[in-house]
Amino acid sequence: MLQIRRPGLTTKSDRHFSVAIVGGGASGTILAAQLARRGIDSILIDGSGRMGRGVAYSTTEAAHLLNVRAEGMSAWAGEPDHFTRRFEQEGGDRRGFAQRRLFGRYLGEILDEAVQNGCAQVGHATATGATYGEADWRIDLDDGSTIDADALVLAVGNQEPEALSAFADAGLRFIRNPWGAEARAAVEDLTHTGRAALLVGTGLTMVDLVLSLDAAGYQGRILALSRRGLIPRSHADFEPSPVETSELPSGLRAMFRWLRRRSAEAGWRAAIDSLRPYSHALWQSLDDQEQRRFLRHARPWWDVHRHRIAPEVAATVARMIGEGQLEVVAGQIVGARSAPNGLEVDFHRRGASATQSATFGYAFNCTGPLHSIARTRDPLLRSLLDSGEVRPDQLGIGLEVEGTSRAGEHLWALGPLTKGRYWEIIAVPDIREQAAAVAADIERELGA
Ligand SMILES: Cc1cc2nc3c(=O)[nH]c(=O)nc-3n(C[C@H](O)[C@H](O)[C@H](O)COP(=O)(O)OP(=O)(O)OC[C@H]3O[C@@H](n4cnc5c(N)ncnc54)[C@H](O)[C@@H]3O)c2cc1C
């Protein structure tokens, strides 16, 4: 059995840790804090400049709000008021929706505490590979150095969106990554020129872009397009309608019949949310074919009802639609090419007989994270997949994990990487439970 190194005890070397966590977003940060509370030393590795915040909470924009009420956002499973207290200090209401950047600061404070108590260190680098030998992981970093750890946790988050083949010839006016610096520069340019913007995808990423454009004072027209043209619904107060395990539906068809019936009785928000405590068990009760069917047919509907937006955000979107500035369309992109004054795009509205063309200043890929883990461009994941240390899950959307999110020998995965097993594992209320379970499992495995 391995010995967990406590702070203050002699370590094998200053490059050797009990746990190496790759990915300093919400998942990795909460895990580092969980380990620190258990007195287990770890190093949190992130080379993106978003250490302690990750993609979702590194936004600097006031318009970007959480899509979970403040009272649901504690980083600690057993301390529901932990974030609320922080939010109330800033004048917020526990039932309200905080700015995401405030939540980012909160995560940063949690990480600082773990660093200050001597249990956590941070490493600002990108992990490019990892190999397991003689009960240790050796992790290669892009600065040429290596670190060793008894356990490795992959918390690398969602993978960058798929390249869209229709935009292969679109050049720099197609913004492939809506979270990067190019997207911010494009928003500025659009605000300046007032040219039309195309958002491909109509989910939460589209909403973020719309908010960014609105906050920047953009006056141009926005076309948001996806196959079904569904946009996220708004949060609203409702009377909860909890269900007993014995009342739960079994199988995909039965689940949607059950949801329709219960929505008619209790309202759709109450119906969807009544399944939350059972979401992992329900997902795991579906066989592979049913899970695939869910992804193919039901997912867009599920996403817009389950992952709802703050009422303030919904009001902005509704205002922009009402004023004719934002148009949401069900349809398909046919092709796109660079034109002297922008990007010329051909698209087909669902039900229309002809293809339409329009010119946009920029088009943004808002289709959401990469769906196929085999096509990841993350160097660490690539190396682990290529060496066979990790395997894609049954659907190919994340990594195969067992029990308490174990992906291999002394190897765990957290957050969106584990959605094949758990499906609902991308929001903080789910991630904090997973991080607590993984921390306990690591302690058990490495030996106290
Ligand atoms: C825009 C947005 C808004 C959201 N809003 C909410 C919300 O309001 N409430 C809620 O509960 N959930 C929300 N979510 C969902 C959820 O909180 C996030 O998906 C969650 O933060 C995932 O965190 P993560 O740490 O797993 O991944 P990420 O935040 O993606 O962090 C992973 C980090 O790992 C780094 N990394 C990747 N590969 C390597 C490598 N090889 N070496 C070093 N570093 C690496 C990345 O650069 C990144 O910084 C939102 C998600 C998004 C995208």
Mutate which of 30, 199, 381, 426 for ligand 1? The one with the most ligand atoms within 8 Å of its CB, which is: 426
The dihedral through the CA atoms of 386, 390, 396, 398 has a sign that is: negative
Residue carrying the six token digits 């109509």: 202
Distance from residue 26's CA to the centre of ligand 1 (Å): 6
Distance (Å, rounded) from C-alpha 263 to C-alpha 255?
12
Residue carrying the six token digits 């499973």: 77
SS3 133: strand
The CA-atom distances, in angstroms, between 15 and each of 1, 30, 87, 420 are 21, 22, 37, 33
Residue nearest atom 33 in ligand 1 by C-alpha distance: 23
Distance (Å, rounded) from C-alpha 154 to C-alpha 157?
8
Q: Which residues line ligand 1 (CB under 6 A)?
A: 22-28, 45-48, 50, 54-56, 66-68, 126-127, 155-158, 208, 378-380, 415-416, 426-428
Distance from residue 166's CA to the centre of ligand 1 (Å): 27
Distance (Å, rounded) from C-alpha 360 to C-alpha 327?
14
Residues 6+ apart with CB under 8 A from 275: 243, 248, 259, 282
Mutate which of 22, 29, 34, 48 for ligand 1? The one with the most ligand atoms within 8 Å of its CB, which is: 48
DSSP assignment of 46-109, as one string? --SS-TTTHHHH----TT-B-SS-GGG--SSTT-TTHHHHHHHHTT--TTS--BHHHHHHHHHH
How does pLDDT run along the chain (448 residues), one tens digit per residue?
444 554 444 445 678 999 999 999 999 999 999 999 999 999 999 999 999 999 999 999 999 999 999 999 999 988 999 999 999 999 999 999 999 999 999 999 999 999 999 999 999 999 999 999 988 999 999 999 999 999 999 999 998 888 899 999 898 999 998 988 999 999 999 999 999 999 999 999 999 999 999 999 999 999 999 999 999 999 999 999 999 999 999 999 999 999 999 999 999 999 999 999 999 999 999 999 999 999 999 999 999 999 999 999 999 999 999 999 999 999 999 999 999 889 999 999 999 999 999 999 999 999 998 889 999 999 999 999 999 999 999 999 999 999 899 999 999 999 999 999 999 999 999 999 999 999 999 999 998 5
